[in-house]
Amino acid sequence: MPEWTESLLTFAFIAGQCLFGTAAIYALLQLWPERPARWKHLTVVSAWRTREVPEQWLHMARISRRKAFFVERELLLAGCGITADAAWYVLARRVLVCVIAVLIIGIVIVHEWLNAYVPVTYIAPGLLLGMLFIQLDVVWLRSIRKMRALQVTKEIFVISKQLLYLSDSSLHIHAKLLRCVPFTRTIRIELNQLLAEWYHDAGGALQRFKQRLGTEEGLSFVETLDALRLHESPQYYELLRVRIEDYKEKIELAKESRKESTSYVLFIIAGIPILYTFQIFIYPWVREGQKLFESLNG
């Protein structure tokens, strides 16, 4: 047997042993019992996702769930896909505003002492920008909701087209939705949760799915799914076809609006060189003409 063949067989044998040993160790580790989280009841993430803020905390922070300030942000957060208690966000916002206000007052009081270590001109603008960003939270929450609503509409449009394609199939609506999961990204978690809760209570699962989506298109889509679940007939697939056309029109309108906004931004950017041209070349002549007229009048 040649020497290179013997070396190749030895290498293959060693590689097979390593592969078999790794697979055996992995299988043994999978049999190891999973240790429960020791401090699970104290984790902040699980708390704000699954629990509501105690009413005593809201009372101390002077926050009411019935005020328009709270209701507006609750609707915006739902539209952004956040299904946790909106009071966590409102409470965190109130605490941050108070902390930044206290820091600004402290800087004003000890600015001479602080300026010897860190320039106040670096800290104060950052704090003021942070305060402005928090105060204008409604603006960027609306922007996030708008972008998410467009993405949800696109994915609902694709799912509706797939359901229409599978209209002649004998599959149950649950199986059809299961085949639509690979076409989603933004609402994949919500759709998987809907499919997991389907056979326990389909009606309740659809209502919770509608709340998790938090958009108008999600409302109409859930109504169509509920109709297909109760009466899977060609008439309701015609309703789905009409809804598909509505989704398509909304997507086209959003594209046109985005093109207009882009054209405005490009127009403004294109005007910057013109302003510099005026400032560098034309403005000196205008200034000299003004001086000449002033000297003639004088």
Query: pLDDT confidence of 6, banded at 50, 70, 90?
Result: low
Q: Is the pLDDT at 114 greater than 50, yes or no?
A: yes
**Average pLDDT over the chain, rounded to an integer:** 77
Q: Any long-range contacts for 170-176 (C-beta under 8 Å, 24+ apart)?
A: 173/225, 173/228, 173/229, 173/232, 174/198, 174/199
Distance between CA atoms of 216 and 193, rounded to whole angstroms? 20
Q: Is the pLDDT at 40 greater than 50, yes or no?
A: no
Q: Is the pLDDT at 289 greater than 80, yes or no?
A: no
How far CA 234 is from CA of 167, 172, 238, 240, in Å, comes to: 8, 14, 6, 10
Q: What is the pTM of this model?
A: 0.63
Give residue limits of the domains in the chain. 43-135, 147-253
**96-105 pLDDT tens trace:** 988 888 888 8
* Residue 35 DSSP code: P
Give pLDDT, residue 270: 65
Q: What is the mean pLDDT of residues 35-46?
A: 46
Give pLDDT, residue 37: 47
Amino acid at 26: Y
